[in-house]
A and B are shown apart, each in its own frame.
Chain A
Amino acid sequence: MNKACFKVMIILLLLTCASTVVADNKDLGERLAWSCLSCHGNAGASQGPATPVIAGLSYNYIVGVMLAYKYTDDLEKALDVIDNNPDLADVGIYERFPSTMNNVASALSPDEIKAIAKYFSELPLEKLNQQFDEKLAAAGKKLHKKYCDKCHENGGASTADDVGMLVGQWRNYLTFTMQDYQSGDRGIHKKMNTKLKSMLDKKGEESITQLIEYYSSQQ
């Protein structure tokens, strides 16, 4: 074998290895994600009535939620992971109401959490067919514009800037989330807390129902 040919062989070998590694990382994310689907639905599109849709959430959002579940007893550790991973600089950690997700997240390494987050964040966001009350939804639309749309853009359908998905999400899940924000069982972003308090002061408890009806009406 001449020298040139040998060089080509080496390059070829390296290229083959590189492409295998890339493929395997993608495989890993997908295969880890398969363990989520019996509860969260085919391709992360939960059939409901309560377990949330996770397809189309932002990468940072999923990583933040999973780290919060994983390190529920010591959120400092979640912040350590963020400090040690420059690519996670924009990830926020907010406490969650305990669920079996704590057990699932505990079983995954931060790198595995990242692979899963990549997989689900790249899946399309599907809209849901939910029944809704038109009158309440109309009231909710106004509330959304006034209190929510600045961060939850596009009528709550956008997941830009790592906000949660409001359109295409199950009504029960949105209800649980708002209950937990109000009871303090779920950590809340400062800005949202201010807006929520202001809305509740001016419009009362029913404003939350109206908002949820509005999001459920967006199909």
Chain B
Amino acid sequence: MLSRRSLLKLLGISSALPLMGVTRLAWAAENRIIIVGGGAAGTIFAKYLKKILPAAEITIVEKNKTYQPAFVSNHLINGLLDINATQYGYQTLQKNGIKVIHDTVTEIDPVSKNIALAGGKSLPYDRLVLAQGIGFDNAAIQGFDENTLHSWTAGEQVQQLAPKVAGLKPGGVVIVATPAGSISGPWAPFERVSQMAAYFSINNKKAKIILLNGNAKTEDLAIFEDYWQQHYPGMIEAQWQTNVSAIAGNSVTTSAGNTTANLLNVVAANRAGNLALKAGLTDSSGWCPVAAGTFESSKQKGIYVIGDAITPELGLSKTAQSANAQAKLCAIAMANQVQGKAVLQDLPPLIDSEYAILNNDYAIFRTKVFRINADKKLTQVSHGKSQIDDPEKQAQREVLYAQSWFNNITHEMFE
């Protein structure tokens, strides 16, 4: 029997088949991929696209040389994690052929397909992936600016909250104010309050926490309130549908008037970042509409948005886990397109989930799993979450599973 190679020889063609040749030619001319943001979405997208398309020129533009994930900020408060163990570098990605530029993108020009960097350079791209996370709507709160202690996004602010909590005067009051609307880390406000209460219950027993939350109380938050009432009666006061309109010194203004505290931790309304707004990638909601599965922007061709900045309309939450899963789908779909396959072929499930660690022996989870269905729509196919009456051992185990998730997802991003 003839082998495939000898058949090829017989026909006088080399190993490159005609069809593949066409794809390769087209690919050679459009293989410059720029990723804006080296976090939970950007690193994973780069890593997996490189695995499928080793020849692609992949560049991550990320301002921080050391990545400090926002999703650890709560875990520093009561010593679940140590700040020294939660900082990551880009060396392994670079070793694997991904270029990393530490700079800030100041502008995207979707027409000429160029980005401008704060350092003065301009870089051309064929496909651009925006993986920058959220921005704040500073105008929503009078007095909110880059110096306000939010501890809500990756970078230096991550480690600034824990020492302030530790330094609170005995019997002091903390205000944690989180906004209405879609927010990065939907459970993070309640996990944060839980971790503060766990810390105060040992170190500052008369301290008080006031949670001002812009959104209404939802059913899945009962588990937090139940836990607080059982373990810290009288320590936490939660106000729902309460938005902060101004901050000045140590006081906040809401529709109920002014409240003063010893420590303010205020988060302004979340939306896509300024860069996305400037590039015309957002709609009136302030988020970026994208196509399900490919995550290509509905506003600009050749630009893809993954992670926290995408529209909440797809039903995905703004969590590191969701960003990670989105990045994988986006990378596979893009590679499929380049390789001339059906674009939505071989897409894995999109696992959108979140843990909250309330204390060293109590954590909860929620999970939604999505698939792309035959109509090319993102469809939720299963879901589950911790329940108030789960056996004790389950909540204890979830702490170790949450920590495993943290170790594995950061390892996946940076190793």
Interface, chain A (partner B; CB < 8 A): 8-9, 11-12, 15-16, 19, 24, 27-28, 31-35, 37-42, 46-51, 97-100, 102-104, 106-108, 172, 176, 179
Contact = CB atoms under 8 A, between A and B. Distances in A.
B374 interface: no
Nearest to B404: A51
Nearest to A49: B400
Interface residues of B, number: 45
Interface stretch (B101-109, B142-150, B381-389): B381-389
Contacts of A100: 353, 365, 367, 384
Contact of A106 (B7, B382, B394, B409): B382
A51 B10 CA distance: 54
Nearest to A102: B384
Contact of A47 (B11, B384, B394, B407): B407
A47 B404 CA distance: 7
B348 A38 contact: no
B232 interface: no
A59 B276 CA distance: 45
B325 interface: yes
Contacts of A179: 393
A46 B383 CA distance: 23
Nearest to B332: A31
19 contacts: A31-B328, A32-B346, A32-B348, A35-B349, A38-B321, A39-B401, A39-B404, A47-B408, A48-B404, A49-B403, A50-B403, A51-B401, A51-B408, A100-B384, A102-B382, A103-B382, A107-B349, A172-B400, A179-B393
A89 B407 CA distance: 37
Given A38-B405, A41-B411, A106-B382, A8 B10 contact: yes
B240 to A, nearest CB: 28
Contacts of B324: 38
A-B pairs with the 9 shortest C-beta distances? A50-B400, A51-B404, A35-B348, A106-B382, A107-B369, A47-B407, A103-B384, A107-B349, A103-B382
B8 interface: yes
A16 to B, nearest CB: 7
Contacts of B370: 107
Contacts of B292: none
Interface in B214-246: none
B415 interface: yes
A41 B332 CA distance: 19
B319 to A, nearest CB: 11
A38 B412 contact: yes
A42 B7 contact: no
B371 interface: yes
A32 B415 contact: no
Given A35-B328, A38-B321, A106-B369, A47 B411 contact: yes
A34 B328 contact: yes
A2 B367 CA distance: 60
B314 to A, nearest CB: 16
A107 B351 CA distance: 9
Most chain B beta carbons < 10 A, residue from A39, A40, A41, A108 = A39
A37 B408 contact: yes
B369 A103 contact: yes
A188 B185 CA distance: 39
Most chain A beta carbons < 10 A, residue from B350, B381, B405 = B405
A102 B385 CA distance: 11
Given A8-B10, A19-B4, A35-B348, 7 more contacts: A12-B7, A38-B325, A38-B351, A50-B397, A104-B367, A107-B369, A179-B393
A165 B409 CA distance: 23
Contacts of A103: 367-369, 382-384
Interface in B347-374: 347-351, 353, 365, 367-371
B17 interface: yes
B48 interface: yes
A31 B348 CA distance: 6
Contacts of A24: 345-346
B11 to A, nearest CB: 6
A8 B3 CA distance: 12
Contacts of B412: 37-38, 41-42
Contacts of A37: 408, 412
A181 to B, nearest CB: 13
Given A38-B321, A103-B382, A28 B401 contact: no
Contacts of A16: 17
B325 to A, nearest CB: 6
Contact of B347 (A31, A38, A39, A50): A31
Contacts of A176: 397
Contacts of B350: 35
Nearest to B347: A31
Contacts of A34: 48, 328, 348
Contacts of B400: 49-51, 172
B4 A15 contact: yes
Nearest to B350: A35
Contacts of B351: 35, 38, 104
